[in-house]
């Protein structure tokens, strides 16, 4: 596994991170524990979790997995939004809603059950510490390595009250570093306002290219370590698969000149794109299937390629010939 220096934590971390979004919901505890162990054995030491992940089960599952391993991992926790309790009926309907959203990604916004995050009101600055304490109890630890602020507004990122609350948490040792997760505008505002936010987490598929825009926008100052996600989720995988299959094999033939071919052409292309576009940061993936874990860890062990992002953008995103 390739490692990268994370200055905010003063240590090296694996360039592939394990996203716990499905632990306890789509993925059972037993399958999740097997996946966590398989990734950890292959060198993954960054674990990303949030109170709402796995319909509220992921923190406890990860906490149980981390017994005896806590000091060998980076625990990254995203908080900052009020939790919405899920009724038993909604809990039953969510897998179906998620399946529909995966089949018809263009209608994702029509299924509120699949996207509770944006519906949840933000926590006030003085509520963050109490929310963190509840998460620490579920995670069975006394600190997280990274406290990630969940989708704050640019105003939240520069607010005195928020910065004081976060510094208090750092001073008390409840977190080692603080991050912003969310929109590029909030990340840029946070980076300009303070040296507090040493890590930035955001979605970055070939169709967004957010890392490039952020690198340009933050140029000059100390750039936060990037933690990116979204390489397979949200319909990206299927969209690339469709594009590659829709031109009579011309794109696949071009990709083969770079060494990509069946059976994992799209998977490897997207992974290499993600690592190339974030070469000194962490790429998060949810992964419960052992084939996915092995593939992701294998690609995370290679040095980042500089030919794959231009190829993906030119031929797949822009559709140029
Ligand atoms: N605002 C935020 O900060 C934020 C937002 C969203 C997500 N996240 C974090 O990022 C993580 C990843 O989320 P995401 O949106 O990128 O992905 P995702 O929606 O969690 O989807 C990943 C999907 O891709 C599959 N997959 C994994 N490796 C693959 C491979 N090599 N080839 C094909 N499919 C593969 C997984 O399947 P299997 O499980 O079957 O292996 C999973 O179903 C989350 O778990 C969460 O920790 C953070």
Report the separation in Å between the CA atom of 234 and the middle of ligand 1, taken as the mean of its atom positions.
Answer: 9
The pLDDT of residue 107: 55
Task: Identify each DSSP E strand in the chain by its residue range.
Answer: 3-6, 11-14, 16-19, 46-49, 74-79, 144-150, 175-181, 197-203, 225-229, 282-285
| Mean pLDDT score of the chain | 89
- The CA–CA distances, whole Å, from 168 to 185, 190, 222, 224 equal 25, 17, 22, 20
Report the separation in Å between the CA atom of 283 and the middle of ligand 1, taken as the mean of its atom positions.
Answer: 10
| CB of 138 shorter than 6 A to ligand 1 | no
| CB of 76 shorter than 6 A to ligand 1 | no
Q: Where are the domains of the chain?
A: 3-84+120-235+278-305
Quick one: three-class SS letters along 203-262? ECCCCCCHHHHHHHHHCCCCCCEEEEECCCCCCHHHHHHHHHHCCCCHHHHHHHHCCCCC
| CB of 269 shorter than 6 A to ligand 1 | no
Most informative mutation of 232, 234, 272, 301 for ligand 1 (most atoms within 8 A of CB): 232
| CB of 14 shorter than 6 A to ligand 1 | no
Which residues have CB under 8 Å from 169's CB, separation 6+? 128, 129, 132, 147, 175, 178
Q: Comparing 65 with 107, which gets the higher pLDDT?
A: 65
Report the separation in Å between the CA atom of 284 and the middle of ligand 1, taken as the mean of its atom positions.
Answer: 7
Q: What is the CATH number of domain 3-84+120-235+278-305?
A: 3.20.20.100
Taking 3-state DSSP, the helix, strand and coil percentages for the chain, each rounded to the nearest 5, stand at 50, 15, 35
d(CA 283, CA 271): 9
Mean pLDDT of 170-182: 97
Nearest-CA residue for atom 24 of ligand 1: 232
Rg (CA), the chain: 19
| CB of 174 shorter than 6 A to ligand 1 | no
The pLDDT of residue 102: 64
Q: What is the pLDDT of residues 243-301, one digit of tens each?
A: 887 777 888 888 899 999 999 999 999 999 999 999 999 999 999 999 999 999 999 99
Most informative mutation of 287, 299, 300 for ligand 1 (most atoms within 8 A of CB): 287
6-15, 275-284, 308-317: the lowest-pLDDT one: 308-317
| CB of 284 shorter than 6 A to ligand 1 | yes
* Ligand 1 atom nearest to CA at 78: 3
* Ligand 1 atom nearest to CA at 117: 1
Contact 258, 314 (CB under 8 A): no
Q: pTM for this one?
A: 0.91
Nearest Cα to Cα of residue 120 among 85, 81, 150, 86: 81
Most informative mutation of 53, 283, 292 for ligand 1 (most atoms within 8 A of CB): 292
| CB of 287 shorter than 6 A to ligand 1 | yes
The Cα angle at residue 77 between residues 121 and 281, in degrees rounded to 5: 115
Nearest-CA residue for atom 3 of ligand 1: 181
Give the max Cα distance, the chain. 60
According to DSSP, residue 307 is labeled: S
Q: Comparing 176 with 97, which gets the higher pLDDT?
A: 176
d(CA 16, CA 3): 8
Given pLDDT bands bounded at 50, 70 and 90, which one contains residue 101?
low
The pLDDT of residue 259: 93
| CB of 63 shorter than 6 A to ligand 1 | no
Hey, what are 27's tokens? Answer: 């993925």
């Amino acid at each position: 596994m390739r490692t990268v220096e994370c200055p905010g934590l003063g240590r090296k971390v694996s360039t592939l991170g394990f996203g716990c979004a499905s632990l306890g919901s789509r993925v059972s505890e037993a399958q999740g524990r097997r996946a966590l162990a398989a990734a950890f054995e292959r060198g993954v030491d960054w674990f990303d979790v949030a109170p709402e992940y796995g319909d509220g089960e992921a923190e406890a599952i990860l906490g149980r997995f981390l017994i005896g391993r806590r000091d060998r991992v980076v625990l990254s926790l995203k908080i900052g939004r009020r939790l919405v309790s899920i009724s038993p009926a909604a809990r039953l309907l969510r897998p179906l809603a998620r399946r529909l959203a995966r089949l018809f990604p263009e209608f994702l916004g029509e299924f509120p059950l699949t996207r509770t995050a944006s519906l949840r009101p933000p926590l006030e600055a003085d509520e963050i510490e109490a929310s963190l304490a509840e998460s620490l109890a579920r995670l069975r630890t006394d600190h997280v390595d990274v406290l990630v602020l969940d989708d704050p507004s640019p105003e939240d990122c520069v607010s005195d009250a928020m910065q004081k609350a976060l510094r208090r948490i750092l001073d008390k040792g409840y977190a080692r570093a603080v991050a912003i997760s969310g929109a590029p505008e909030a990340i840029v505002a946070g980076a300009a306002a303070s040296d507090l936010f040493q890590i930035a987490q955001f979605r970055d598929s070939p169709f967004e290219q957010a890392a490039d825009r952020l690198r340009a926008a933050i140029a000059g100052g100390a750039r936060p370590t990037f933690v990116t996600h979204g390489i397979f989720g949200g319909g990206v995988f299927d969209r690339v698969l469709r594009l590659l299959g829709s031109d009579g094999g011309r794109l696949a033939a071009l990709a083969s000149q770079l060494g990509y071919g069946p059976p994992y052409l799209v998977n490897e292309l997207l992974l290499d794109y993600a690592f190339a576009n974030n070469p000194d940061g962490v790429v998060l993936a949810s992964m419960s299937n052992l084939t996915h874990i092995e593939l992701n860890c294998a690609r995370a062990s290679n040095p980042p390629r500089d030919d794959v992002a231009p190829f993906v953008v030119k031929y797949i995103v822009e559709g140029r010939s």
